[in-house]
Each structure stands twice: as structure tokens, then as C-alpha cells.
Structure 1
């Protein structure tokens, strides 16, 4: 058995090896660009629901989404020319440890971290206050 196709009567047995190259699979996988981390549709639905509520309250004005090799980041801004007020980050490398999701403020302090996005986003829920009559 050979890897070459069967030849018909009268065809030549010469094979052109100039176009075939041998590639080390391990090296190929290391050089291949990794797929960036992204938010899934349900995660974006939860984030955009909070974003819409905060825009309605006049707290937030703009947002940006970044997808890198290590993490996905949803940044929210009060004005588009400033530093983000908050960053909602998804870092899969931390999923087994502290949780893949976190909310970071403008100073870089982590406000809340967890394994599921819903409870982490509760940091944006406002507590009800007692109003005197």
C-alpha cells in the first residue's frame, strides 16, 4: 500500500515533491494565533440590561468592548473621552480559583468577583433608602 493514488495504464510514476512540506504539529499549534476571549450572548444580555438601566438613570453615557487573548472587557464611561468608570471583566484563567467574572472600578480596585456573572453584576443594584416625610 502507498499513499499515492493508483496510476492508469501509461501514466508516469514520478511524483512532484516540491510543493509538499513537513510541518511539526506542536510548533504549528504554538505559532497559531489563539482565539480571543469573548462574551457569550447571554452574558452580553445581562451586561447590556444593566447598562441600559444605568443610561436611563443618567449614570453612564458610553461603553467599549475589548476582546484579548487573556480576557474580555466591557468598559463603561460617564463621558467618552475619559477613563472608564467600571470594567466588567471575564478572565477564564481565574475560573477555577476566584471566579472568571469581576467588576473593577476606575482606580483598579476589584469591587466584586465570582464564578457567575449575575451575582457579580449585583454590585450595581442600588439599595433602597428610607426617605423622611
Structure 2
């Protein structure tokens, strides 16, 4: 089965499964409710699946949540990458990796 926009078979693409999307969208929903994020985009490519989050749709992504199965046996297949390209957290367990984003919600109360 060919996917016309990419020109290669759909099964060759990496994607998030239902549980992974549930974990990501849970964090996304809390950040939207806090007014931190407003939009997202997903990309499913040969070697990586990417969930990008934006403050505004016209900007570069604030964060990218990536799944790279080839890294599964090394540092872990999940990573959160900042706007500047730095890897903020990498690991084998997605909910643990996503906790780096939750820390952004904790602010001192004046």
C-alpha cells in the first residue's frame, strides 16, 4: 500500500500508538488549560514520529516529542527536544520523559 504524499509504504513510517498519544495529549491538555500551548502538529516519517507543540501556530515549535525506535536499545526511543534543539530528556518510558514538560507548569505563587 503506497502513501502518495511520501512515496513509500505506510508500514515503513513510525507512528505513536494509542497509549503514547494518550500520554502526550494528557500533558498537552494541561498545558493548553494553563495557557502555555495553543497548537500542535504531528509528523510520521521513516525513522521518527514527532509531536510538535506551539505557543502560536505561526511560530517554530516550543518542544518536539520524538519517538525513534532505532534508539530503543541505546538511550531510549523517546525524547523531548527544546526550541533550541537541545535534548531536555531522553528515555525508555514515555510518561517519565514527559515529566520534564510538567515542571514548566510549576511556578512560585506571589
Tell me, yes or no, whether TM beats 0.5: yes
Residue by residue over 1:69-121, the C-alpha shift from the partner in whole angstroms, topping out at 9 and shown as x without a partner, is: 00000000000011000000000010100000000000000000000101000
- Distance in 1, Cα, partners of 2:81 & 2:37: 15
CA RMSD of aligned residues (A): 1.7
Show the counterpart of 2:68.
91
Task: Specify which structure has the higher proportion of strand.
Answer: 2
Residue number in structure 2 paired with 1:18: none
The structure number with the bigger radius of gyration is 1
**Structure 1 counterpart SS, 2:12:** coil
The Cα of 1:129 is off from its aligned counterpart by 5.7
Look up the match of 1:119: 96
Distance 2:73 2:108 in 1: 40
Distance 2:27 2:33 in 1: 10
Q: Which has the higher relative contact order, 1 or 2, with Cα contacts under 8 A spaced 6 or more apart?
A: 2
Q: Normalising by the residue count of structure 2, what TM-score does the alignment of the two structures yield?
A: 0.85
CA distance in 2, matches of 1:62, 1:129: 22
* Aligned residue pairs, count: 101
TM-score between both structures, scaled by the size of structure 1: 0.71
- Aligned partners of 2:67 and 2:48: how far apart in 1? 5
1:47 aligns with 2:24: yes
Q: Is the helix fraction higher in 1 or 2?
A: 2
Which 4+ residue blocks in structure 1 deviate beyond 3 angstroms?
127-132
1:37 aligns with 2:42: no
* Runs of 5+ unmatched residues, structure 1: 1-31
Distance 2:96 2:60 in 1: 25
